[in-house]
């Protein structure tokens, strides 16, 4: 066969392949608008599959794919998504899940087919492990995560934190309630939407979480319904206040959250056990599951927590949390800030403000 006929054969094969892809796009348009997410994802999966198979059969390289991008953009000018980068993403999308122990015909049943393309692209680029990708895809559906929220979850390593709190759930709750409750808790919790002083008080932490209740609930995970802060309970004529009280829709139980600005101390577990007894007696209904306690501390020692929870009657989980810490202002910046007297003089120019004498600064002598 001459070189000319070989080239003609390649062009003919390419033209046929391009025509087939055009037909697939048109069929998807007829079946549903490309704005319908599931159809769009399945189309991208199919295009990626077709490209991979054609490359294996014909030995096509990157240049052919780039030509394919241009021709598809020309054929469908009103449709976004056929850029060079996105076509290569489609190929990577297919390759990522083609060898998964799941029949390709059932790909539409996987959560990846039910989340937006931008989410899928993010998972392909940021996560290499299939099980981890699958978990994030499921959480996207269950929690309604936006792409930005999903990216935050990935950055904060939510997958590696979920289910990691130290608890006594296995000993205090029946199966499968114990397993579900364990999966609900994380360790550590990421409260990086808060910026607190290094020596912050528990009230400041609590107020910060309430001020950012939407972000707080998102970090807690799906199912937590906020009931109140400093929830009042009266026991034997004495007043007690729960830091935060939630009801978990999926677990069907009350959740008492206690916040501590210190390391874990064994006595914290005893106090939370007391609160849970009161909640079960005064608030819990017959159809509710046993209430759960969540103790959040700055840090914890695993052995101390295990000893403290071993003989506790109520189900309790202990986890750490992290916030952004506001460091002290640099000395140079401190000196540039106005004093109280300067501010008063600016606000009340007619009133004479007696300035306090500035303290003399000691300067270090050069050695």
Instruction: Check: pTM over 0.85? Answer yes or no.
Output: no
Tokens of 14: 């390419």
Instruction: In whole angstroms, give the CA distance from residue 194 to residue 209.
Output: 8
Q: What is the pLDDT of residues 242-283, one digit of tens each?
A: 999 999 999 999 999 999 999 999 999 999 999 999 999 999
Residue 235 backbone dihedrals phi, psi, to 5 degrees = -130, 120
The residue behind tokens 């910046």 is 333
Closest CA to 220 of 292, 288, 268: 292
Q: What is the pLDDT of residues 15-30, one digit of tens each?
A: 888 888 887 777 666 5
Q: What is the pLDDT of residues 135-167, one digit of tens each?
A: 999 998 888 888 988 998 999 899 999 999 999
Measuring CA to CA, how many Å separate 185 from each of 21, 114, 163?
A: 46, 25, 5
Q: Would you tell me how many other CB atoms lie within 10 Å of the CB of residue 40?
A: 19
The residue behind tokens 């140079």 is 332
């Amino acid at each position: 066969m001459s070189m000319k006929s070989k080239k003609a054969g390649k062009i003919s094969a390419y033209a046929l392949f391009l025509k087939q892809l055009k037909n697939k796009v048109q069929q998807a348009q007829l079946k549903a608008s490309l704005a319908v997410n599931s159809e769009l994802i399945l189309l991208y999966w199919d295009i990626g599959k077709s490209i991979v198979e054609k490359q294996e059969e014909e030995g096509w390289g990157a240049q052919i794919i780039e030509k394919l991008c241009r021709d598809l953009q020309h054929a469908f000018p009103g449709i976004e998504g056929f850029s060079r980068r996105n076509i290569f993403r489609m190929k990577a999308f297919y390759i990522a899940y083609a060898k998964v122990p799941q029949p390709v015909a059932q790909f539409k049943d996987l959560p990846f087919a039910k989340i937006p393309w931008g989410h899928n692209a993010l998972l392909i680029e940021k996560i290499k492990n299939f099980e981890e990708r699958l978990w994030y895809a499921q959480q996207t559906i269950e929690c309604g995560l936006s792409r930005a929220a999903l990216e935050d979850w990935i950055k904060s390593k939510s997958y590696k934190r979920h289910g990691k709190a130290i608890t006594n759930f296995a000993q205090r709750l029946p199966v499968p309630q114990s397993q579900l409750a364990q999966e609900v808790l994380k360790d550590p919790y990421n409260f990086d939407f808060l910026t607190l002083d290094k020596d912050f008080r528990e009230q400041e932490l609590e107020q910060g979480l309430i001020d950012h209740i939407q972000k707080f609930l998102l970090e807690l995970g799906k199912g937590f319904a906020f009931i109140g802060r400093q929830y009042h309970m009266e026991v034997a004529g004495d007043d007690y206040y729960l830091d935060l009280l939630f009801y978990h829709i999926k677990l069907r139980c009350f959740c008492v959250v206690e916040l501590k600005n210190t390391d874990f101390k064994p006595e914290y577990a005893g106090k939370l056990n007391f609160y849970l007894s009161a909640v079960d007696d005064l608030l819990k209904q017959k159809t509710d599951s046993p209430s759960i306690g969540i103790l959040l501390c700055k840090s914890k020692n695993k052995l101390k927590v295990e000893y403290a929870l071993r003989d506790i009657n109520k189900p309790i989980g202990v986890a750490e949390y992290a916030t952004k810490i506001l460091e002290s202002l640099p000395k140079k910046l401190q000196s540039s800030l106005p004093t109280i007297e300067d501010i008063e003089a600016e606000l009340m120019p007619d009133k004479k403000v007696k300035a306090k004498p500035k303290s003399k600064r000691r300067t270090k002598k050069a050695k």
